[in-house]
Amino acid sequence: MSDEPVTEPQAGGPASNQSIGARLANARQARNLDIEKVATELKLDVATIRALENDDRAALPAPIFVKGYLRSYARLVGLAENELVRAYAAQAGELPPLTITRITKPAPMLRLPSTRLLRNVVVVLLLAIMLWLAWPFAVRLWHSRTTPAESPQQGQLELPPPAR
């Protein structure tokens, strides 16, 4: 088995009139490969390889799978993969593949901040208001604990001044 690819004749040559299956069979025979060896290499059934070479669409699975089989088979025997797949799609009457286009949205005039940012700002503001309201009570409590109370000493009673 040689590694040099089998070249297909150019458009207008005898191979362009051949069916896809005939082109695959000719390329396989040119490489001296038997159907069993191709089936083993491609991990397919022998019946699937025969159906590909005989252009038996009834024995083949869905076209999406057949395209993959054709690519692998063409790669194995040295044929142009894309050309075979395009020819198969044309014979099957498939529509060309869809193209994906990106739809861009226009930039908004005023970009609003994210929800997370708004939530964090509200939480910080609420904490600041709560601290501002609690500050006078906290200062009074702190002063009452640090300033000694001017209370009478234990055991002494304070009497009011005598009345005159």
* pLDDT for the residue 18: 83
Domain span at 50: 14-92
Residue 87 corresponds to which tokens in the numbers above? 């020819």
* pLDDT for the residue 157: 72
Residue 136, domain member (yes or no):
no
Helix extents (H) in the chain: 20-30, 35-42, 46-53, 63-77, 81-92, 115-146
* pLDDT for the residue 124: 96
In the block, tokens 């005939």 appear at 22
Low-confidence ranges of the chain (pLDDT < 70): 1-16, 95-97, 148-154
Residue 63, domain member (yes or no):
yes
Distance in angstroms (rounded) separating the CA atoms of residues 111 and 16: 59
* pLDDT for the residue 149: 60
**Domain at 67, CATH number:** 1.10.260.40
Whether the CB-CB separation of 21 and 52 falls below 8 Å is answered with yes
Residue 158, domain member (yes or no):
no
* pLDDT for the residue 151: 61
* pLDDT for the residue 96: 65
Residue 42, domain member (yes or no):
yes
* pLDDT for the residue 150: 63
Q: What total of structural domains would you count in the chain?
A: 1
pLDDT tens-digit series, residues 108-132: 777 777 888 889 999 999 999 999 9
Residue 7, domain member (yes or no):
no
Residue 43, domain member (yes or no):
yes
* pLDDT for the residue 107: 73
